[in-house]
Amino acid sequence: MRWNEGHQSPDVIDARGQGIGGGGGMRLGVAGFIVVGILSLVFGRNLFSVVGGSPSAPGTTAPRATAPRRGDAAEDRQVRFVGFVLDDVQATWAQLMPRLGRPYQRAQLVVFTDAVRSGCGTAGADAGPFYCPADQRVYLDVSFFRELRSRLGAPGDFAQAYVIAHEVGHHVQRLLGIDARVRQSSTRDPGAENALSVRQELQADCFAGVWAYATARRDILERGDLEEALTAAAAVGDDQMQRNAGRRVNPETWTHGSAQQRAEWFRRGLQSGDPGRCDTFARQ
């Protein structure tokens, strides 16, 4: 992917080395419990033991970093890349959202190490990237991309870009009211929670594909970039994650969709460039 290596995003909060502060156990809100529960399934381990199990006060937000740790040159370059992709994804949605009848409001992205406190509670690095609707921020541990490359078998900078675009896709869902409707439906019918989660995640994949369509039209892609994104989408499919963890593939426990579904919905957004083609909630 072609990008400006000197780019500095005003929407990236560099909290590397800042720590989470406070004492005692880590605290989670309701949304945090949902996030950690999903990620426990994805990574095949009990992440509640990492982040603790106490509910946090609603609306708690992550502090702005005041003295970020400076990493080595490669890590600092990685943070600049994250900022470049974040800004590019958000610029794309700033153009698209008015056509959907809503203005776009920019999200922030917090890069951290070890653990971070968010509006959805506190999470460790093992939790993986996540979007917190309570504070409208994406959270990303700088070590995740190494995990994506080495453990999940999805190397390449556009694989990383897909992850960021997917999380911003959740922000778009919040702005469109989709996230709120999913939570309301899950409350009314708890038995449908997993199925609704799968549809929401697949839609975020499709939204990431919509951004990829825009990058292709602006000629900033390089050979193999789209294949990297498709590989990443498939690598984080629930079935693939269960196999990697040595577990039986069980569709009833899925919360993100299969490898085939995730790649298929990313491809649908990529081919159309139209958010309207990303209605995963319509009867299929």
| Residue 280 lies inside a defined structural domain of this protein | no
| Residue 154 lies inside a defined structural domain of this protein | yes
Give CA separation, 10 vs 13, 54, 84, 145, 248, in Å.
8, 33, 10, 22, 44
| Residue-number span of the structural domain to which 21 is assigned | 12-270
Q: Per residue in 78-133, pLDDT tens?
A: 899 999 999 999 999 999 999 999 999 999 999 998 888 999 998 887 778 999 99
Q: Which residue has the higher pLDDT, 52 or 212?
A: 212
How many domains does the chain contain in total? 1
Adjacent-strand bridge partners of 55:
28
Cα separation of 250 and 241, whole Å?
A: 11
pTM: 0.79
Q: Residues 234, 180: contact at Cβ < 8 Å? A: no
Q: Residues 116, 32: contact at Cβ < 8 Å? A: no
Residue 142 CB-density burial (10 A; 0-12 exposed, 13-18 middle, 19+ buried) = buried
52 pLDDT band, cuts 50/70/90, is: very low
| Residue 279 lies inside a defined structural domain of this protein | no
| Residue 117 lies inside a defined structural domain of this protein | yes
Cα separation of 210 and 95, whole Å?
A: 12
| Residue 57 lies inside a defined structural domain of this protein | yes
| Residue 7 lies inside a defined structural domain of this protein | no
Mean pLDDT of the region 216-232: 83
| Residue 93 lies inside a defined structural domain of this protein | yes
Q: Per residue in 162-178, pLDDT tens?
A: 999 999 999 999 999 99
Give the containing element (helix H, strand E) for 115.
Answer: strand 115-118
Dig out the tokens for 7 from the structure.
């780019």
Q: Which residue has the higher pLDDT, 260 or 64?
A: 260
| Residue 96 lies inside a defined structural domain of this protein | yes
